[in-house]
Amino acid sequence: MTNKIVYYTGCFADYYGPDIGKSFVEVMEKNGFEVIVPDTKCCGMPQMANSNLSGAKKNFDFNVKALAKAAQPGYDILSTCPSCNMMLRREGLPFFDSEEARFVSKNVYDACEYLLRLYGQGKLNTNFGELRMRVYYHNPCHLRVQNLTAAVDLMKMVPGIEVVGVNLNCCGMGGSYGMKIQNFERSQEIASKVWNEVKAANVDVVVTDCGGCGLQVQAGTGAKIMHPLMVLNQSYKAFKAREAA
C-alpha cells in the first residue's frame, strides 16, 4: 500500500463500538490505504459542552499535536464520529487556536465524506456484494449542520440495499444532554418523532454515523443499529464470498 491516512478513533469506536473502528480499517484497506492510528484523547466536545473549557483545551491541544505530527507527511485525517469531526474541523478552533489546530481543521474529513470524494475521483473500490436490506438512515445533527449526507449516497451503491427513509430530526440525545436525569423526559419527547418513524418504516436496520444517536434510537425502538462503514464492510465481504464461491 502506498497511500496512508490518519484515523482519529474517538471515544465511541475506542470504548463502545470497536466494530466501527475495525470496519473502518478494513474498508480503507480495501481501497488501498494503510491506516495510522496515533495516541489520542477524547476530542474535548463533551467537556466544552459542559463548561469545562480547561479540560477541553487540554484534550484538544493534545489531539491536534498528535494528529498534525502523524499527518505531516501529507496524509489526510479521517473520523467516524460526527461530533469528533465537527470539533476538530470547526468547533475547537475559535476557542483553542494554534498552528496545529489550523492544520488539522484543513485536513480532517468525515469517513463517508472522504469515501464519496474518492468515488467522485474514480478511485473508490466499488466491488460491493449484494445485501438484501431495508435501511432507515438517521442523519446526525453534527453532520447535518456540515451539510454532509454522504452515507446515503454510498449505501445506494450497494446492490440490494433499499433506503426507505432518511431522518433529519434530532434524536434527543444531544451528546451528554440526554444522559442526564434532569433532561430524560425532554430527551424522550424530542426522540419520539424519530422513534415513531423507525417503527413505522418496518426496516431491517437503522444506519447512523453517530454512536450516541444509535444508542438513543435503539433504546426507543429495539432496532438493529449499524454504522455506514459497517454496512460497506459487510458488502465488501459479500462480494469476496461471491467471488470465492
Q: Residue ranges of the alpha helices (H) in the chain?
A: 10-11, 18-30, 45-49, 53-71, 82-86, 99-107, 111-120, 141-144, 150-155, 184-201, 211-221, 228-244
What CATH code would you report for 3-117?
A: 3.40.50
Per DSSP, the residues of 81-146 read: -HHHHHIIIIISTTTS--HHHHHHHHHEEEHHHHHHHHHHTT-S---PPP--EEEEEE--HHHHTT
Return the amino acid letter for 26.
E
Q: CA geometry: angle at 150 spanning 179 and 27, to 5°?
A: 90
How far, CA to CA in Å, does 129 sit from each of 152, 202, 243? Answer: 17, 23, 9
Nearest CA to 225 out of 159, 118, 137, 141 is that of: 137
Per CATH, the architecture of 133-244 is what? Answer: 3-Layer(aba) Sandwich (3.40)
Q: pLDDT 10s per residue in the chain (245 long)? A: 359 999 999 999 999 999 999 999 999 999 999 999 999 999 999 999 899 999 999 999 999 999 999 999 899 999 999 999 999 999 999 999 999 999 999 999 999 999 999 999 999 999 999 999 999 999 999 999 998 889 999 999 999 999 999 988 899 888 878 788 898 899 899 989 999 999 999 999 999 999 999 999 999 999 999 999 999 999 999 988 877 76
pTM (two decimals): 0.94
Per-residue pLDDT, 1: 39
Where in the chain do CATH 3.40.50 domains reside?
Answer: 3-117, 133-244
Per-residue pLDDT, 138: 95
Per-residue pLDDT, 245: 67
Please state, in angstroms and rounded to a whole number, the distance separating the CA atoms of residues 173 and 164: 23
Per-residue pLDDT, 83: 95
> What does the chain come to in residues?
245
Sheet with 3-8: strands ordered across: 33-36, 3-8, 76-79, 108-110
Please state, in angstroms and rounded to a whole number, the distance separating the CA atoms of residues 211 and 20: 9
